Amino acid sequence: MNKLTQLYRDTIRQHAAEPVGFGNEIEATHRHELYNPQCGDRIEVQLRIVDGAIENTAFSGEACAICMASASLLCSVTPGKPVSHLEKLHNRLHEALENGDDLEGAVELIPLLGVRPYPSRIRCATLPWDAALGAL
């Protein structure tokens, strides 16, 4: 098993078992829900944005392990960052998964590259990020 596959599996397991931000009550200023009919994922992302920066991030819903782990990573890496950072991570993740680009400047999302060989699972990994962008 190569390093990326092992990192992918370990990260998905860890974040799916103990998702950061799942079910947390925050005073959200922005929220958006998306549904993936292919696998039944339903995720609502809540953001608290103050002065152009993400103060807090949370999510709720029912989803597969990949989607839950991706939402957990979103909640791990966005607080304290400007909104533009969320937009950059969203775009880099899509480019990396759909076009094979690298994740330069978004190394914290490298474990999600493990879904590349499974095109039907890419939507599972990107759904929380799309919901967060929709919230903006």
Q: Where are the domains of the chain?
A: 3-135
Q: Which residue has the higher pLDDT, 82 or 12?
A: 82
Which of 6-10, 23-27, 91-95, 127-131 is predicted least confidently? 6-10
Are 12 and 38 in contact by the 8 Å Cβ rule? The answer is: no
Cα-flanking dihedrals φ and ψ of residue 114, to 5°?
Answer: -65, -15
- pLDDT classification of 4: cutoffs 50, 70, 90: low
Nearest Cα to 33, choosing from 20, 21, 47? Answer: 47
CA distance 52 to 25: 21
- pLDDT classification of 30: cutoffs 50, 70, 90: very high
Tokens 């994740």, located at residue: 103
Which pLDDT score, from 0 to 100, does residue 80 have? Answer: 96
Could you report the per-residue pLDDT of 102-136, keeping only the tens digit for each? 887 788 888 898 888 889 999 999 999 999 999 99
For residue 43, give both structure tokens.
């995720």
3-class DSSP string for 106-130: CHHHHHHHHHCCCHHHHHHHHHHHH
Which pLDDT score, from 0 to 100, does residue 15 have? Answer: 86
- pLDDT classification of 1: cutoffs 50, 70, 90: low
For residue 19, give both structure tokens.
């998702």
For residue 59, give both structure tokens.
């999510």
Which pLDDT score, from 0 to 100, does residue 100 have? Answer: 84
CATH topology of domain 3-135: Sufe protein. Chain: A (3.90.1010)
pLDDT at 57 over 80: yes
Beta strands in the chain (DSSP E): 30-36, 41-50, 53-62
